[in-house]
Structure 1
Amino acid sequence: MGGLLSFLTLRRNRRQQRAMHSTHQELLRLNSQLSHLADTDTLTQCPNRRAAYSRLGQELLQLRSYDQYFCVVLLDLDFFKAVNDRHGHDVGDQVLAYFSHTARNTLRASDFLARIGGEEFLLILPETRRAQALPLAQRLLDTIIANPLYLSDKTIPFTFSGGLIEAHKEDDIQHLLQRADRYLYAAKLRGRSQIIDDKAYDKPPSAELKEKQARKTNNNE
């Protein structure tokens, strides 16, 4: 009789252990899902600003500890307001989703693209120096230019401007983004649809280019 009771108790304990393990696994799955939702932009399925800042912190730590240099490109879709005004916000949303999809298929698997607000994206290129980063960013821009969004009743061409920097060990996240934003602004000023880095930034735009860009801005925004 005692043996039977021990056997039944053992079976009960195993069932309880299996149930507890199953519950634990389900909780892990749900926590992972919630974490993903908290760090993901629902429209583009890119990481969001929170995730981008977390990744920047990790990359800066790797740079300071192991000399693993990386580059950042701050991207902004050109004349996006005009897309929304002419075609509606639904089409604007499709442009954002299409850009994100195209970018992920063009970039390296190790690269990190996040939507940090509106039509603005942050591209992190790990273990990449400036000389390597510029052709990577340019390839993305060329791909976007060559592949507009085709809808059933219209074609939506679009471009983006970018400010590219290589991170320094003394950077913090705020300073990193401020430098990238400065070059992004220069790309907008100098005609858009281009990538500006520190070398290009040192070359001031001509007065003719400034006037041309001012006319273009007035016509589109």
Structure 2
Amino acid sequence: MSKHVPIPPEWQADFLLKQFSLSHRLGYSLSGVVLVFLPIFTILDATLVSYADGELIWKHILFRLPAVILAITFLLLHHKKDPGFWAYPLLLTLNLSIVGMMAAMFVLHYSEQGGHLLYITQGLTLVIITVATATVYGARDLALIYGLPLTAVIAFIVFSGSPFPDNPIHLAFIPAAIGIGVVIATMLYQEHQRTFIASQQLEHSALADALTGLPNRRSMQTDLQAEWSRAKRDEQCFAVLMADLDRFKAVNDQHGHEVGDEVLTILATRFTNTLRGGDRVARWGGEEFLLLIPNATEESAMAVAEKVRRAVAEPPFATSAGNLAVTLSLGVALHRQTESIDEVISRADKALYRAKQEGRNRAVLAGD
């Protein structure tokens, strides 16, 4: 069995939603299996065993009824496309009802000590393994699905006074099936985790800059579009800050690109440590970065720009080539209700160009 891979805390909420989605799919499939195979099993049961009286027939019907009702309920809710969190507890209850059904029939026929007990034992063994494939949280789910019915079976065997079977070897199938079921459920759960983590990592790598770990241009464009739509809807403003390292080419020429990469990495850390919780920053290209400030005014946007500029200028950047003095120029543009995203970025770019012309290491507010 492969090593357990924990879900990082920042992905826990997404994983929970993924598991609820899995509950919908597993419950839908299991409900179909129940409604198809339970009538077949009932026919086989009636064929192999001649019921002596109507009471025994009704007992068998009552044993099957909870699983049928739960399966129909699941299918009805699923077809209503209700996205609620009902699927997981209903799936858990459906699994429990299936194991409970076979456990109840095992108890019913235990005292007979005949061939039908072997038949029911084999059915219980098969069900124990089958429901393991329809669990969402692996062995944690099986603790309930197996625990309640099988505890009741053990209690019946111990306290009923029924004689032990003459040939009890087939009873060993049950604990063996439980062990197999736990292994299957655990492996499936771990595979769900690995698949989810791989998907998240792939998505993160598509939206993150490989060097700095910051969101990349593609990711920021999505954020800009969302902020632009929200600002138009709520009639609020946001600010775009274009930031560019001063004389970064000289750093690469004098110290090499590896040191230049160190500078960019340190810069990314200073950005994230300085910005407020709702502010966002992305590597826009090369040594250029774009900062998005929601709910901004000219004063608050310039205050953020100055805070970032000072955080970059002091203290020096500690690199493998020694301490380097690094400064940053910024252009600040406040979004206007009538302009597009490209237009506000263009004004921030022009303000950045002015900051470079006016001596660098400063923030300039965009005009008309």
Q: Per the shorter chain, which TM-score range? A: 0.7 to 0.9
Partner of 1:166: 334
**2:125 equivalent to 1:8:** yes
Aligned counterparts of 2:194 and 2:119: Cα–Cα separation in 1: 36
- The structure whose residues are more often strand, as a share, is 1
> What per-residue deviation string (whole Å, max 9, x for no partner) do you get for residues 56-89 of structure 1?
0110011111234211100010111111111111
Hey, what does 1:217 align to over in structure 2? none
- Show the counterpart of 1:210: none
Distance 2:317 2:360 in 1: 19
Aligned sequence identity (%): 34
Give unmatched runs, 5+ long, in structure 1: 203-221
SS at match of 1:164: strand
Distance in 2 (alpha carbons) for counterparts of 1:153 and 1:174: 38
User: 1:96-133 CA distances to partner (integer Å, 9 max, x unpaired)?
Assistant: 11111111111112211100110000011122222111
RMSD: 1.8
Which range moved further: 28-37 or 53-62? 28-37
Query: How many angstroms apart in 1 are the aligned matches of 2:250 and 2:213?
Result: 24
| Structure 1 length-normalised TM | 0.84
Conserved? CA contact 1:53–1:173, under 8 Å: no
Of the candidates 124, 127, 134, which is equivalent to residue 295 of structure 2?
Answer: 127
Aligned length: 200
Q: Which amino acid aligns with 1:5?
A: Q
Larger RCO of the pair (alpha carbons < 8 Å, separation 6+): 1
TM-score normalised by the chain length of structure 2: 0.51
C-alpha distance in 2 between matches for 1:10 and 1:127 = 58
Encode CA deviations 1:151-203: one digit per residue, 9 max, x unaligned: 355221011111111112333222121111111111111111111113xx57x
Uncovered stretches (5+) of structure 2, i.e. residues with no partner: 1-117, 135-184
Alpha-carbon separation, structure 1, partners of 2:237 and 2:119: 68
Q: Of residues 34, 39, 60 in structure 1, which corresponds to 2:207?
A: 39
Give deviations 1:18-51, integer Å, cap 9, x for gaps. Answer: 4555444432222111000001111111100100
Range that drifts further, 177-186 or 15-24: 15-24
Whether the 8 Å contact between 2:255 and 2:321 is mirrored in structure 1 is no
Does the 8 A contact of 2:211 with 2:261 survive in 1?
A: yes
| 4+ runs deviating over 6 angstroms | none
Corresponding residue for residue 142 of structure 1: 310
**Which one has the largest radius of gyration?**
2
Maintained 8 Å contact 1:39/1:51: yes
Say if 2:190 is the partner of 1:190: no
